[in-house]
Chains A and B, each alone.
Chain A
Amino acid sequence: MRLRNLLSATAAAAALGALAGPALAERGADGQVNIIYWQAVSILNPYLSGGTKDVEGASLVLEPLARYDETGTMVPWLVEEIPTVENGGVSEDLMSITWKLKPGLKWSDGSDVTAADAVFTADYCMDETGGCQQVANYADVASVEAVDDLTIKITFTVPKPVPYGPFVGAQSPILQAAQFADCKGAKAPECTDANFGPIGTGPYVVAEFKPNDVVVYEANPHYREADKPAFGSVLLKGGGDAVSAARSVMETGEFDYAWNMQVEPEILAQMEARGIGKVISAYGTSVERFEVNMTNPDPDLGDLRSTVEGGPHPFLTDPKVTRALSMAIDREILVEAGYGAAGQVTCNVLPAPDLFNSTANDWCKTPDVDGANALLDEAGWVVGSDGVREKDGVKLSLLYQTSTNSVRQGTQALIKQMWQEIGVETELRNISGSVFFGGDPSSPDTFQKLYADVEMFTNNFDGTDPEKYMANWRCSEIPSPKNNWLGGNNPRFCSEEYDALVQTLAGTAKIEERAEIAKQLNDMLMESGAIIPLIHRGRVAAMANTIEGHAMNPWDSELWDIASWSRAK
């Protein structure tokens, strides 16, 4: 009985898949490609879930107007060219941008793509009650209008030197207005069919979706390039853990591509040795760093703990101390032990794009324990009988917190040892990621509250422009009870000079000048010791040796070029 139900249900699903239509001869010639994400896709509407797995799962179907290629260069995707001030696409006063769609674009249901779809998408996300998770991409948008069928004009409320927020990158694709018309605002989550099977312009359409488990895609019959994609179908399986995902690509060969290989390098190297698959990586803007508490986390302060009102930190506000802490760390060892191909040493919180990478802090690349000791001696910190330095009754003793994750705990243990050599005592603490990164204002363990001396985690920014990112460390962004602990300035770094420079950045249009300012901002953070960068982290994936045509892209969806993937004969 149950078997029969199962059979009829699956037969119906198969029939549904067949309805998607026969693919052209050259399209789909390479059969199926199997991809494994150890976090399963939950929903295929990136506006309702900003989770990386969901955004990337949707990126096979939904496309933005422009996106970033593997070098971080913006490339036109659904448009003819990238609008700039030079070609007249961006107005002289930087208040508006005009995109021109490629003519003849079709949705996967055969209807035309028009500017009205983009207008709808912006309305959909900017609706206050919808809980749109990508609304930050639409910041400062005054209006989006369709000048004609193929022309989209976005007007901003302030001058935007980098007006590439809306409709650029995998986080901000175009939805079909017809499909989502009744799904605006509070009704957004009720449109399950649309959220699970969006109609898009991408190389694939959703054939079958089992939330939190698997997505099956078929080639889009209306895709704009007649000979693509080479794979007729894609299976995107989710769940499990990173190690077994790596195993399924590089040891058993059941899958062709595995995402986000957060696995100890020696395990990956062993698997790679079998010769079926390889590890690939690329570097974006992710940096594993210490954010150093500039305020006093002493529990005796009660509600004033780790707030500006509670007073400065007893010793971490001294740049000599933080510099010594940084000098004592041998970052090469950290890379070797925990990251391998997935990490490289960095001395900047802003390590990429290349143009934005400062060289002023390169001293941190070579560890210098003697130098660090000398620096602390000079600052008056004397080694006590227990081997821990102290000055005026204050001990150099740190509480070091991070999220629970085997690589992070390995790093913690190594750094504790390195700091011991310069007479710094360290207490280690790890907190479950769902609590640490969760913003629950009633929890004392969130990374915003920072009830510790230093904390370690990774952050990055979308796209290639760091303006919003660097604006995180303004005085106004300090998390405190007043703003319900919302704010990105965890070190509680505050400098008028820094704030003014961020303001200048917002008004500067020339890319070279922007890079200069961004480097200065980075250097100010490094010199103050508010941030101690550790490792520039890359995206790492495991890929079968037979897959061709993929360029690892740290700037956009990892599956951005799936239309060009093929299997070696």
Chain B
Amino acid sequence: MLTYTIRRLAFAVPTLLVISFLIFGILDLAPSDPTAQLPLTIPPEVREKIRLSLGLGDPFIVRYFKWLVQFMVNEPLNILEQWTGWTIGDGERLRVLSWQTRSPVVDLIVQRMPQTLWVVGMSYVVGIVIAIPIGVISAYRQYSWFDQFGTLFSMVGFSIPTFFTGLLFIVIFSVTLGWLPSIYDTTLVVEDWDSFVAQVKQMIMPTMVLGLYNASQLSRFMRASVLDNLNQDYVRTARAKGMTEKVVLLIHVLRNSMIPVVTVIALNLPQVFGGAIITEQIFRVNGLGQLLIGAIEGGDIPTVQTLTFIFAVLIVVFNLIADVLYGILDPRIRYD
């Protein structure tokens, strides 16, 4: 298992290098301009100077290697220094700078990570908590009214896009009822009960919008998986041994049914970091997804490149984790 993991890790390096080159190349070829958002009162000659000051005058290969060194070497060294307090070299390293804010991209990402993890991560948890019981009961009582309702729920949840449910929620709960804020207050500090309540209130809508979407997807997987297992011989054996239905369902069937579902959950996890982009934009949650959208709109190529590459890294890593988890859950398919 360990050698397998190490081999996979080693193989990830060239994969990621190719991905980084592709991302850099594609974004470089895309027609976008960092000065496009500036007012037209700024004359063309000045725009040209701005572009040069952003390093756009260098040839593609030079810019690619600069970025690679900045992101792969300088930034990890900076993080290492911050964590350990060591000083490596003279500490003066070129960092990947955002064109919009002129500040290091990695700092922006660090600043935005908590919101994404909290709001989007929580929605994932909510999604799983809702999806698993629905999936199990739907399968156990197949074609019952509960199953029919579950199917309807997941169909609706999956087919209505989040930008619509988000807007619907805002119109109902913010505009009409006035219960929940429509705009996420990113300056809120949780220090006492009241601010905690405010934090929960402002997290409800974005979390639920995403959570329902995730739940509808996962509950279908769960249902299918439980249905597969219910017809297996070991279930009949368990029942024949005189196990109660509770034990059969929750111990025997549930554990085995989780195997494919865990893979789906693990493979989808990078999406958490990708931040449900649209949801973050609608509720103005300052997460990674919103950062990406803002960077795309502003032609801030270094931020887009860095974020996209980090998402690529996460996808590669979580694929690996899913494979390893699979082995742990199911001893039959360990790779030794």
Contacts and interface: CB of A to CB of B under 8 A. Distances in A.
Nearest to B190: A7
Interface string A141-158: 000000000000000000
Interface in A410-438: 433-438
B294 to A, nearest CB: 5
A488 interface: yes
B294 A6 contact: no
B301 to A, nearest CB: 11
Nearest to B181: A254
Interface stretch (A77-85, A245-253, A502-510): A245-253
Nearest to B47: A439
Contacts of A188: 102
Given A10-B189, A213-B286, A48 B102 contact: yes
Contacts of B47: 439, 486
Contacts of A359: none
Contacts of A251: 175
B48 A136 contact: no
29 contacts: A2-B114, A2-B118, A5-B114, A40-B294, A45-B102, A49-B100, A131-B50, A131-B54, A133-B38, A133-B42, A133-B50, A136-B43, A189-B97, A212-B108, A212-B294, A213-B186, A213-B286, A216-B187, A239-B286, A241-B281, A252-B182, A255-B183, A438-B32, A439-B33, A439-B35, A439-B51, A448-B44, A459-B41, A460-B39
A390 interface: no
Contact of A462 (B41, B190, B294): B41
A435 B32 contact: yes
B189 A14 contact: yes
Interface string A5-24: 11100110110000000000
B34 to A, nearest CB: 8
A244 B100 contact: no
Contact of B103 (A192, A247, A440, A487): A192
Interface residues of A, number: 76
The 8 lowest CB-CB distance pairs between A and B, nearest first, are: A131-B53, A438-B33, A438-B36, A486-B44, A213-B286, A189-B102, A211-B101, A10-B189
A129 interface: yes
B327 interface: no
Interface string B142-173: 00000000000000000000000000001000
Contacts of A434: 31-33, 36-37, 297, 299
A212 B101 contact: yes
Size class of the contact patch on chain B: 35 or more
A50 B42 contact: yes
Contacts of A254: 181-183
A36 B183 CA distance: 10
Contacts of A488: 43-44
B122 to A, nearest CB: 11
A372 to B, nearest CB: 30
A349 interface: no
Contact of A11 (B97, B178, B191): B191
Interface of B: 31-33, 35-54, 97-98, 100-104, 107-108, 111, 114, 117-118, 170, 174-175, 178, 181-183, 186-187, 189-191, 281-282, 284, 286, 290-291, 294, 297-299
A519 interface: no
Nearest to A241: B281
Nearest to A14: B189
A527 interface: no
Interface in A190-226: 192, 195-196, 208, 210-214, 216
Interface of A: 2, 5-7, 10-11, 13-14, 36, 39-40, 42-43, 45, 48-52, 129-131, 133-136, 186, 188-189, 192, 195-196, 208, 210-214, 216, 235, 237-241, 244, 247-248, 251-252, 254-255, 433-440, 442-443, 445, 448, 457-462, 468, 479, 484, 486-488
A436 B38 CA distance: 12
Contacts of A248: 182-183
B278 to A, nearest CB: 11
Contacts of A459: 40-41
B311 to A, nearest CB: 18
Nearest to B113: A2
Contact of B187 (A43, A186, A208, A436): A208
B281 A196 contact: no
A252 B60 CA distance: 48
Contacts of B53: 129-131, 186
Given A14-B191, A196-B101, A439-B51, 4 more contacts: A49-B102, A131-B52, A195-B103, A438-B31
Contacts of A437: 33, 36-37, 40
Interface centre among A42, A186, A247, A440 (most CB of B within 10 A): A42
A47 to B, nearest CB: 11
B290 A239 contact: yes
Contact of B42 (A36, A136, A457): A136
Contacts of B101: 42-43, 196, 211-212
B284 A239 contact: yes
B302 to A, nearest CB: 11
Nearest to A238: B284
B307 to A, nearest CB: 12
Contacts of B39: 50-52, 460
Given A40-B294, A212-B294, A440 B31 contact: yes
Given A51-B38, A192-B103, A438 B299 contact: yes
B284 A486 contact: no
